[in-house]
């Protein structure tokens, strides 16, 4: 073997670290694939308007919890009113707080199988249409503002009447789950997207949502750190939630449904595979650990997050 040396940093284990959570991401995705059904899936997105983002930042925990609750209530209400769809849906919701430029932009994505349960009977929804996006946005807006009033919050001025909610078909669901898992446990920015750093300024790239072309943004290092760290959720706030027959407490219902639909489950062998050993970039042979340096113990800085 060659004498190539390479430095590797130990894992910090933080759920927002882009370098530490590859295994956790993969395990979550494999668990969700075990729940897939042989039906079309839909991705529903609920977004808060710009006028409420300042409120959301100062009341982050309440806003995130309410986003999930109102999104679930809205979808369940539409399901009950649709005679071609079962009363009980299966929902997987993921909270995102960033735009592609890493601005503060709270929204939730909900992955829904195209069908529902009415008692023990499965009703499948055929076609590319599930719910109307504008109708979803109107009901979501009314429910969210009603929650704010009941909580005693003052409504900001000039709240728009038209909010944004999107509902689109995403095929068999694996594509949507892979997209959601991308930012679930690995932070909001991948390390390869940081293209330059000169000790004063940082340049990172992002894909523009309109043109789908790569753009770059350069700003001072402290501003860049704030742009990234503002998306670290407070301790105890879960980014992903499951409802209906996809909830962890409804495993028997999901298992009966999979038997009814004759589901062939994928193998879970990839989850239990040992971690792949680091290979030498020169000769391709496995590298061995020769020196271990104890990491520095920096003082813990505790920040009080808004309630």
Rounded to whole angstroms, the Cα distance separating 281 from 287 reads: 10
What pLDDT does residue 232 have? 86
Per-residue model confidence as pLDDT tens for the chain (307 residues): 577 777 766 667 676 776 676 777 788 888 888 888 888 899 999 999 999 999 999 999 999 999 999 999 999 999 988 877 878 899 999 999 999 899 999 999 999 998 888 877 888 887 788 899 999 999 999 999 999 999 999 998 889 999 999 999 988 888 888 877 777 776 788 888 899 988 899 999 998 888 889 999 999 999 999 998 888 888 888 889 999 999 988 888 888 888 888 887 665 554 445 556 677 878 877 877 776 666 555 555 454 545 4
Q: Is residue 66 within 8 Å of residue 147, measured between CB atoms?
A: yes
Query: By the 8 A CB rule, do 161 and 137 touch?
Result: no
Q: How far apart are CA 87 and CA 134, in angstroms?
A: 21
201 and 168 both lie in a single domain = no
Q: Tell me, yes or no, whether 79 and 162 share the same domain.
A: yes
pLDDT at residue 270, rounded to an integer: 47
| Same domain for 89 and 212 | no
Q: How high is the pLDDT of residue 297? A: 55
- Give the pTM: 0.81
99 and 176 within one domain: yes
Co-location of 80 and 114 in the same domain: yes
In a domain, residue 96? The reply is: yes
Residue 277 lies in a domain: no
Domain span at residue 88 reads 22-188+233-260
Check the CA dihedral 278-280-285-288 and report its sign: negative
Residue 281 lies in a domain: no
Q: Detail the DSSP E strand segments found in 213-297.
A: 214-220, 240-244
CA dist 133 and 163 (Å) reads: 10
Classify residue 38: in a domain, yes or no: yes
Confidence at residue 307, expressed as pLDDT on a 0 to 100 scale: 46
Neighbouring-strand partners of residue 118: 121
Per-residue pLDDT at 272:
47
Residues 62 and 195 in one domain: no
Same domain, 153 and 256: yes
User: How many domains would you assign to the chain?
Assistant: 2
Sequence-separated contacts (24+) of 28-33 with Cβ below 8 Å: 28/181, 28/184, 28/185, 28/240, 29/177, 29/178, 29/181, 30/266, 30/268, 30/270, 30/271, 31/271, 32/92, 32/177, 32/181, 33/174, 33/177, 33/266
Secondary structure (3-state) at 67: helix
Kindly give the residue spans of alpha helices, DSSP state H, lying in 59-192: 60-81, 133-151, 174-181
Residue 286 falls inside a structural domain: no
The answer to the question of residue 10 being in a domain is: no
Do 200 and 131 belong to one domain?
Answer: no
Residues 49 and 129 in one domain: yes
Shared-domain flag, residues 181 and 218: no
Same domain, 184 and 202: no
**Are both 130 and 69 inside the same structural domain?**
yes
Q: What is the pLDDT of residue 3?
A: 75
For residue 282, being part of any structural domain is answered with no
Q: Hey, CA dihedral for 282, 287, 290, 295, is it positive or negative?
A: positive
- The answer to whether residue 206 is domain-embedded is yes
């Amino acid at each position: 073997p060659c004498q190539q040396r390479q430095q590797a940093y130990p894992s910090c284990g933080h759920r927002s670290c882009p370098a530490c959570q590859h295994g956790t991401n993969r395990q979550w995705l494999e668990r969700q694939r075990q729940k897939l059904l042989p039906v079309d899936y839909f991705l529903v997105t609920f977004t808060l308007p710009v006028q409420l983002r300042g409120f959301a930042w100062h009341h982050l925990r309440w806003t995130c919890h309410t986003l999930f609750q109102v999104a679930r209530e809205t979808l369940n209400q539409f399901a009950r009113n649709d005679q071609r769809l079962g009363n009980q849906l299966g929902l997987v919701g993921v909270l995102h707080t960033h735009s592609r430029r890493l601005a503060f932009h709270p929204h939730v994505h909900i992955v829904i199988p195209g069908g529902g349960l009415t008692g023990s009977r499965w009703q499948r929804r055929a076609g590319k249409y599930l719910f109307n996006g504008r109708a979803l946005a109107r009901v979501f807006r009314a429910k969210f503002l009603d929650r704010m009033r009941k909580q005693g919050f003052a409504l900001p001025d000039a709240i728009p009447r038209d909010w944004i909610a999107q509902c689109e078909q995403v095929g068999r669901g694996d594509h949507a789950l892979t997209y959601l898992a991308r930012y679930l446990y690995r932070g909001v920015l991948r390390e390869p997207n940081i293209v330059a750093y000169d000790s004063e300024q940082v340049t990172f790239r992002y894909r523009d949502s309109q043109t789908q072309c790569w753009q770059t943004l350069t700003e001072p290092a402290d501003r860049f750190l704030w742009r990234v760290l503002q998306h670290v959720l407070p301790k105890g706030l879960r980014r992903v939630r499951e409802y209906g027959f996809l909830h962890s407490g409804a495993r028997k219902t999901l298992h009966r449904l999979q038997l009814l639909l004759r589901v062939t489950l994928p193998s879970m062998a990839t989850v239990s595979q040992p971690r792949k050993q680091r290979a030498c970039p020169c000769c391709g042979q496995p590298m061995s650990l020769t020196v271990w340096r104890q990491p520095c113990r920096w003082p813990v800085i505790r920040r009080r997050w808004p309630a």
